[in-house]
Structure 1
């Protein structure tokens, strides 16, 4: 597999959203940018905050979750980054807090950010780093749930999951997705 050239963390911009479950992709990108010593800066052309490290781009779309594909497509098209060279980090309701899954392609599971990225890239073949946030139990409660901060016990599972993803970064950076999956999919409890 080719190594990733674009890492996208999904979330919603603004102070009122920064601690929401929906922003775990932003949390990961913030920490990866610190680890790589690559400060994120606003780039209007790419509708987000970006950092560049050689051929690698980090992106936090500032378009709000449901329009994330606008920013992803703008950067990917400008730099001719293929879908399979893109890794999208996002929250996943179907996984318990602290669970991580890495996969390429597939559906969007009702995630509006993924749906918009698939539509604007005209491909589902990008990689996804799925960070579990749990499910509220009732479908009608999903919007309210993702736009609230995790409970302390959930945060205590999510934070170490993000740390595990950062530990796996050297494998992801080289495109060794199989080794990264073996490392990330391990049960830690």
Structure 2
């Protein structure tokens, strides 16, 4: 196993109709990383779109993946990619939306439960372990009595879209830092309150 190899999975739903949804923020982050690495996504036999590259010369190699399955069935593609690339689950970073964090908040954690997120739940089940890193992208709670399932399947608001690019860049920075310097260094930087 290449010790300098990481699998970065951005969760979301496939197809253009879902592309701007809050639930697809994981896909958006992997797209930012692919742009930085000048890498193109290609279909992989594990039922995912995959791009490979390094953020900087000599840096860790990142396998970026967007499962082609719907969110709740993310586990099969992720487990297939872990096997294909012979990557240990400890070298897996999953990027997903998080209702329990305010919009434009980013939290990094390793292990733990799925917190009600069905995509994460399916990955834990298929991978047989919860010992992977999660980048939890805060999308906030739905306003009023709006159903959470409806809320995550709507696009970001026009106000949110002004801040969203910065949030995506921050998440991409956090992933690069985790791969290069470790989770603790990234947590210390990205969990700190803004100056």
Does the Cα contact within 8 Å between 2:100 and 2:140 map onto a contact in 1? yes
Q: CA deviation at 1:185?
A: 1.2
Aligned residue for 1:183, secondary structure, equals helix
Where does residue 26 of structure 2 map in the other structure?
A: 25
Separation in 2, partners of 1:95, 1:142: 13
Where does residue 15 of structure 1 map in the other structure?
A: 16
1:4–1:105 distance in 2 versus 1, CA, 3 Å:
farther
Where does residue 109 of structure 2 map in the other structure?
A: 103
1:135 equivalent to 2:141? Answer yes
Separation in 1, partners of 2:49, 2:189: 29
Q: What is the CA deviation profile of residues 109-134 of structure 1, one whole-angstrom value per residue up to 9, with x for unaligned ones? A: 11110000000001011100010000
1:87 equivalent to 2:93? Answer yes
Does the Cα contact within 8 Å between 1:3 and 1:172 map onto a contact in 2? no
C-alpha RMSD of matched pairs (Å): 1.9
Does the Cα contact within 8 Å between 2:30 and 2:172 map onto a contact in 1? no
The number of residues matched between the two structures is: 187
Aligned residue for 1:27, secondary structure, equals helix
**Stretch of structure 1 that moved more, 150-159 or 87-96:** 150-159
Show the 5 A alignment for 1:1-189: 5-43=6-44, 45-53=45-53, 55-136=61-142, 141-188=147-194
Separation in 1, partners of 2:34, 2:111: 25
Task: Give TM-score scaled by structure 1 length.
Answer: 0.91
Separation in 1, partners of 2:18, 2:99: 17
1:93–1:119 distance in 2 versus 1, CA, 3 Å:
same
Q: CA deviation at 1:139?
A: 7.8
Separation in 2, partners of 1:9, 1:64: 12
